[in-house]
Every structure is written in C-alpha cells, then in structure tokens.
Structure 1
Amino acid sequence: MKVAILIASMVSWGISNPLADLAITQFSPLLLALIECSVGFLFLLLVTAIRRVKPQVPWRIVIFIGIMQPGLGWLLGNMGYTNETASTGVLILTGETLFTVCIGVFWLGDRLTTKQWIYFLLGMSGVVVASATGAHLDATSTSIYFVLSAALFGVYANILRKYLSEYSSVDLVIGQTFVSVVFLGMFYLFSGQSVPTNVHTHIWVSAALSGVFGVGLPFVAFNYALQNLPARITGPSLNIIPIVGIAASIALGRGAPTIAQLIGGLIVIASIALLAQKEKASP
C-alpha cells in the first residue's frame, strides 16, 4: 500500500509538468508558481476541513522547507520551462532521484547493495531511453534551473525523513504551502509584476490544475511515503514522473513519445518493482 501511494504521487507530479509547460506560455514563472502554490494550499485546506483535525505544524523547520519546496522548487522549474519543453524538464528533473538517494546514503547512512545499485542504475537508464527526444537543442540556457530544482528536492526529501517523520504528512504540507504562498506573494509584490490580461481560459485552467496535481495531491502522498519508506525506494520512484509527463504531453499537444520512450518506461517500472521486492524481503 505504501508503494502504491508513492507511485500515485509520482503520477500526479508527472501530469503537472505539461500543465505547467502550457501555462508558462502566458504567465511569468513567478506568477505561475504563486498560482500553483495558492491552489495547492486551498486544496489542502479543504482536506484539513474534511479531516476535522487541527494541524500540528512544527513551524521552526517548516518555514525553511516551505521556502524550498514547493516555493523555490516550483519557481525554478517554471523558469526552466520558459525555454524548454515538458519532455526536457521531466528528464532533467529526474536528477531528483540521484540527489534523494545519494544524500540519503551519505547523510542518513542508507545502504545500497550491489544489486540495488544495479537496479537503481537500470531505472536511470530507462529514464534516459524514455526521455531521449523532445529537448530544445537551440535553447539550453534555462536547463540549469531544472538542475537546481532537483537539488533542492533531494535536500528537502532527506530533511523530511531525518527530522519530521513523526508529524502528519497533511499537517506538514499545509504548513509548507502556506509558507510558499507568503514567500512567493511577497516576492511577487516586490517584483512589480502585474497580472497579464487577455489570458485564455484554458491557460488559467492549466495553471490551477498544475497546482492541484503538482502541489496539493502529490505532496501529501509523497510526504507519507518518505516517512515510511527508505530512500532506495522513494528515490528511484521519481523515475515514474518523466514517463507520465511525456504521456500527458500527448493530450496537451506538448509532444509525443517514441517506441524507445515506451520501452524506457517498461525498464523504469521493472527497476522499481525489483527495488520494492528487495525491500519486502528485508527484515
């Protein structure tokens, strides 16, 4: 069940990537990040109201991680989409896997056996195959923002595991998104930007859905998985995002996968299944 929840969060994140790529055509990266975090926060408020439980938020550390994720992480990702496609973004953001696993090994003392390293590298090779096309070769200057976003995510994931495992995933995320909205809102006010006019309805819808699928839904599921699964499981699971992202791009007219990409997707799924099986066999 824990692995299923983890995979569901990856699918949701994958869907959000082409939605953000579409919305960025008429919104600035900062405004889009603010919209996404605001919608995600409202969604989480609804979840909290349904639960009828007062959130217990450790604000001292949540302020820090909330600025990181989803605040700066989404802002950097949107900056990357200004000159890159959804396929390019999800490929580079797969670096979240490397950051999450490697930081877990060197900081938290996670251990990988030789077989687990092979499974991990197998998953990475599947991502490379699955996302081998679609990048803009003539506009690579914004790719660095995806790398920075991936690095922030890796740090965030391991901070959550080390310091916040005893808190409710919903409580943590509602605190994070609130901090992100305040942070991005202040940034937006001081930037002097204005809300663009004549924005098409489908762009507003894409931005709002990006907030639901990119912030609201997956963060609750992923935080829960991080608190209950080791990095060798949560890290490679991030490989699902580019597969779903590329598939969702078809429906939005943002790119279509090749046969090689479909093969890569099967490789990724196989690697995650092998890692999960190993975890079940562990005492």
Structure 2
Amino acid sequence: MSRPNSPTALPPISHGRALFYVHIVALFFGIVGVIGHLITAGAPAITLGRALCAVLTLICVGRLQRRPILGVLTPAQIFVLIVTGCLLAAHWVTFFQGVKTGGIAVATLGFASFPAFTILLEAVLLREHTRKAEWLTVALVTLGLILVTPAFNLADQGTIGLGWGVLSGLCFALLALSNRRGTVSMDPIQVACWQNVVVTLVMLPAAAGQLMGTSAWDWFWLAMLGVFCTGLAHFLFISSLAGIKASTAGTVIALEPVYGIAFAWALFGQEPTPRMLIGGAIVIAAIVWSGLRRSQVGLPPGPKKSKTKQIVP
C-alpha cells in the first residue's frame, strides 16, 4: 500500500502568538480534571463521550486545514494506531477514575509522574542511554509523589486516587513512546483522529448504555472535553510549534497541574495541604527542569522523534 500523504505545513506564526497558544493548551489540559469532576457519569462513559466529540472536532479541523485524515494507511500503521488508541483509552479511564476517587489535585499530580516513567521506559525498553540528571528527575518525582500521598493506607480514598493518577501517567508514557516510534511518518491530526476512533470502539461495549443515560449537562461538559480540551488543544499545540521549539512548548504544558489544582481549589474548595503543595512543587520543578535540560543538551541518541506526535492529556 502507498505511504500516507505528507502533512500540510502550517504557516509560521509569531513567537508571542505561539506562546499564547501553548498557554491556552496548558489551561485546557488543566481543566480536564475539573470537567471530569463535574460530570456525574463514570470514567468509562466520560472517556467514550470525550472520544466521540474529539473525533468530530478533529475531522472538522482536518478538513479546514486540508490534512489527510482519510489518507491511505499501511497495515503496520493501522496496528500502531490500534495499540496507541488502546493506550489512550487506558490513560483517560484511569485518570478520570483517579479524579472520581481521590479528587482533582491528587489525580493530576499522579498523572504528572509520566516524565519519570518515560525516562525509565526509555532505559528499560528502548535501551537508550540515561544520564545521571535524568535519574535525578526520577528521584525527585518519586519524592514529590511520596509527599503528595494523603496517607500510606490503601483504604484511603485519596491514596487510591493518587494510585489511579500514577497508573494514568504510566499509560501516557507508554503512549508517548509508542507515538514517537510508530507514527513519525503520519500527520498528527490524522493520528489523533484515528486514535480517538479506536478509543470510541474500545469503550462502546462497556460504556454505551451509561452514556445514553447521561444528562444534558453531562453532554455539555463532554462536548467541552472533546472539542476544547482534545480537538482544539491538539490543533493549537501543533500550531504553536510553528513559532516556538517543542521543548519550550513542553515546558509550558508542564504547568498543567498548577492550573488543575488552582481551579479545584477555587471552584470546589479542594484545598491542598502544605505537604501536598511541597510535593507538587517538587514534581513540577523536576518536570520543568528536565524539559529545559533536554532542550539544552539534546535528546539521547536513537531514532528520530517527531515533535508533533504527543497526544493531549
């Protein structure tokens, strides 16, 4: 089968506009947990509804940008999309389960562990060279998560919620590495659209009945998740890369937990404890420092990685 069409290049934008775009993306990512908290449906139904709305949005974006949503795919590419779509579904279900169980702050900070998992997976699965500074990042994230843990008791809802968040971070790290290895030659909008199609198909058997019984308000919030926090966020992230480096964009997006915790505190009174604030600050600082350091020293040797293939949280 023939290769997919080459992605349509985005027009260059100013540095200031690119930074504005990526801050909007970080804001959208930050309110995902807030919206998940507002929706009364369970995590599987939220995941299905978000994916459905995201598919419709990404198809519209693809048509407006003349991007090859329906381009010809090879069997290998189809296999990668199925695997990564399943990982995306697992990431969303575990994250929203964390929000429902332990609250927005702990679930968001648990998910923020994904850069540490990425470093570990690169070392263990991909056999890539890991520098001492990267192991320091893993250690700092681990310390931060220990401080964030509400209680070292598996019967505690906050601790269980943090566990779901950490599992979500692991799924996202696997997703990110799979995207970097398997979707380099594909258009990022096409990748996002078909992965959400896979999420929809995977979640239909388990969540279709629950989704049909959701209220009008739940559908409104699901549309917000799919349209703004997934489809539009993905488009703005890709657009921002026409004006700033991918490492800069990643560093800004690392502020996502700050937005999530701030909104949870302001809207629902989920005030973090001083210990949680210290632990969260350590996690976020480690992520930002790691991103800045990688942008300065370059990525470890290995296959070329695509800067536009990161799927939105």
TM-score category of the 2 structures, normalised to the smaller one: 0.7 to 0.9
Amino acid at match of 1:29: A
- 1:33 pairs with 2:47: yes
2:175 alignment partner in structure 1: 156
The Cα shift of 1:118 comes to 3.1
Paired with 2:283 and 2:109, the residues of 1 have a C-alpha distance of 13
**Partner SS state of residue 111, structure 1:** coil
Q: 1:27 to 1:110 in 2, by over 3 A?
A: same
- Determine the C-alpha separation between the residues in 1 that align with 2:136 and 2:143: 10
Length-normalised TM-score, structure 2: 0.68
Q: What letter matches 2:51 in structure 1? A: C
Comparing 131-140 with 241-250, greater Cα deviation is found at 131-140
1:180 to 166, 190, 199: 199
Moved more, 261-270 or 85-94: 261-270
Change (3 A) 1:147 1:124: closer
- Go from structure 1 to structure 2 and tell me whether the alpha carbon gap of 1:37 and 1:116 turns closer, same or farther (over 3 Å shift): same
Aligned AA (1:15): I
Q: Which amino acid aligns with 2:65?
A: R
Instruction: Tell me the TM-score normalised to structure 1 length.
Output: 0.74
Mapped partners of 2:27, 2:151: distance in 1:
20
CA positional deviation for 1:158: 0.7
Maintained 8 Å contact 1:68/1:152: yes
Matched to 1:146, the amino acid is G
The equivalent residue for 1:96 is: 114
- Aligned CA-pair RMSD: 3.8
Separation (CA, whole Å) in 1 of partners of 2:259 and 2:145 = 11
Structure 2: 5+ residue stretches without partners: 1-14, 299-313
Question: Given the superposition, is the C-alpha separation of residues 43 and 162 from structure 1 closer, same or farther in structure 2, using an over 3 Å criterion?
Answer: same
1:243 matched to which residue of 2?
258
Higher relative contact order (CA 8 A, sep 6+): 1
Tell me the residue number matched to 2:34: 18
Question: Partners in 2 of 1:268 and 1:148 — Cα distance?
Answer: 16
How many Å apart are 1:265 and its aligned residue? 6.2
User: Which residue identity lines up with residue 210 of structure 1 in the other structure?
Assistant: L
Q: Secondary structure in 1 aligned to 2:198?
A: helix
Q: What's the offset of the Cα at 1:15?
A: 1.6
Shift of 1:8: 5.8
How many residues are paired up? 268
- Whole-angstrom CA distance in 2 between matches of 1:79 and 1:8: 25
Partner residue of 2:212? 195
**CA deviation map 1:221-261 (0-9, x unaligned):** 38x98xx969xx96x88753322210121343252346666
Task: Give matches, 1:121-136, under 5 Å.
Answer: 121-122=139-140, 125=143, 131=148
Match of residue 165 from structure 1: 184
Match of 2:297 in 1: 282
* Consecutive unaligned residues in structure 1, runs of 5 or more: none
